[in-house]
Amino acid sequence: MKKFLLTCVAAFVLAGTASAQVGKAASEATDAAEHKIDQKRADSEAKKSGPVGKAVNNVKSGYHKNRSKNSAEKAKNSLKRAAS
């Protein structure tokens, strides 16, 4: 009976961990999408701006592009951990 209870507790702990990883993956995917939107917005602003505005918005766009890739990679890794 004790072994059964310990096995059940271990299963619930692992299930909770997997659920947390899926939640983290969803959060990271949302961050990636938000950064992608900000990147597109900066690209659009760069087209409308003068030379200084173009430079500023191109830097913003590059930043958001890198953050989007990073967040997408974190989401992918979290899903891999949840599946294991």
Query: In tens digits, what is the pLDDT along the chain, a chain of 84 residues?
Result: 555 544 544 555 455 566 777 788 888 888 899 999 999 999 999 999 999 999 999 999 999 999 999 999 988 888 888 777
CA distances (Å), origin 53, targets 26, 29, 50, 61: 34, 29, 5, 12
Give the pLDDT of residue 7: 53
Instruction: Tell me how far apart the alpha carbons of residues 14 and 43 are, in angstroms, rounded to a whole number.
Output: 43
